[in-house]
Amino acid sequence: MEQEKIILIGAGNVAHHLASALLKAGENLCQIYSRTIESARALGVKTGISYTAEIGEIYPDGDIYIFCVSDDSLSSLLKTVRIKSEALLLHTSGSLPMDVLKPFSKHYGVIYPVQTFSKKRDLDFDEIPLCIEGCSSSVSGKIKILAEKLSSKIHAINSQQRKELHLAAVFACNFPNYLYGVAGKLLEENGLSFAMLRPLIFETAHKVMLLTPEEAQTGPAKRGDESIMNMHKSMLKQDKELLKIYTLLSEGIKEAQVKESTDEPKTSSSEINDMPTLW
């Protein structure tokens, strides 16, 4: 039986990892498209797959088109790519509804990897949760078969759930990474290295693999240590934005501590670990 032809639209961080995973799974990845020839060439050379930066050169006879592009550019791309009516269209967005693909094919869905991707970081794709959704039971089944070749962690969720998951991921990943940058600048300004924080960051992340975030929380706001917090605020008084962030986060931790102490019953970490999760 002839393998289905897969066309990858996009050559950014997600596409780099997905392309490698598709090839490792033995899938028939035929072509890579990117808006710039530089990024198309980089991924094409890396994978040995045909590439292009010309919309008109995208193969029109593909069986599966996977769009790994920004939310803002997806709509315009869909309007210009020539696609046969029977092709399966998939996007990888965490926030866009599945139905954005509906006007362009009878077969469409989503395959959303819950992970932060960088081209310079190698990842085990088998460990990445893939959230899938299809426009019908048959399409969902087809997407599931493809997803299971790429990862052992498959979750069928709807568009609203995926949107909520994406929001949660921003809080869990993007915001902490921004705060790492803030911490790095504070250290650099005082002749210290960000490397000094890496063991702390590693242990903080490791703890929430074993404990609930509430159980893992430490620090002056958790303890209600007003003298330390006031000292920190005084140190930040020349930077109103950082002072605002520090105050807001500290108040959030304090309020969560009050709520935790009054909420009953509490869920133990062992119970949390027994629950099915997306991570």
pLDDT at 146 over 50: yes
Query: Do 108 and 171 lie in a common domain?
Result: no
Nearby residues of 150 by Cβ (< 8 Å), 6 or more positions away: 18, 21, 22, 25, 125, 126, 130
Mean pLDDT value of segment 64-70: 97
Measured CA to CA, the distance from residue 42 to residue 120 in angstroms comes to: 13
Asked whether residue 279 is assigned to any structural domain, the reply reads: no
Tell me if 153 sits within 8 A of 128, measured CB to CB: yes
pLDDT at 85 over 60: yes
Nearest partner of 257 among 210, 230, 221, 229, judged by Cα: 221
Identify the pLDDT of residue 261: 72
Residue 219 belongs to domain spanning:
162-274
Mean pLDDT value of segment 104-110: 96
Identify the pLDDT of residue 134: 98
pLDDT at 273 over 90: no
Identify the pLDDT of residue 157: 97
Asked whether residue 189 is assigned to any structural domain, the reply reads: yes
Distance spanning both ends of the chain, measured CA to CA: 35
Identify the pLDDT of residue 265: 53
Q: Is 6 helix (H, G, I), strand (E, B) or coil?
A: strand
Query: Do 128 and 240 lie in a common domain?
Result: no
Asked whether residue 225 is assigned to any structural domain, the reply reads: yes
Query: Do 33 and 104 lie in a common domain?
Result: yes
Query: Do 44 and 74 lie in a common domain?
Result: yes
Identify the pLDDT of residue 1: 62
Tell me if 114 sits within 8 A of 129, measured CB to CB: yes
Q: Is 132 helix (H, G, I), strand (E, B) or coil?
A: strand
CA angle, 175 then 131 then 83, to 5°: 110
Query: Do 150 and 224 lie in a common domain?
Result: no
Q: Which two tokens stand for residue 172?
A: 């869990």
Query: Do 221 and 246 lie in a common domain?
Result: yes
- Kindly provide the residue ranges of all beta strands, DSSP E only, lying in 122-268, ordered along the sequence: 130-134, 154-156
Query: Do 34 and 132 lie in a common domain?
Result: yes
Asked whether residue 139 is assigned to any structural domain, the reply reads: yes
Query: Do 27 and 151 lie in a common domain?
Result: yes
Identify the pLDDT of residue 264: 52
Query: Do 144 and 125 lie in a common domain?
Result: yes
Strands of the 154-156 sheet, one edge to the other: 50-52, 28-33, 5-9, 64-67, 88-91, 107-113, 130-134, 154-156
Q: What is the band of 206 on the pLDDT scale with cuts at 50, 70, 90?
A: very high
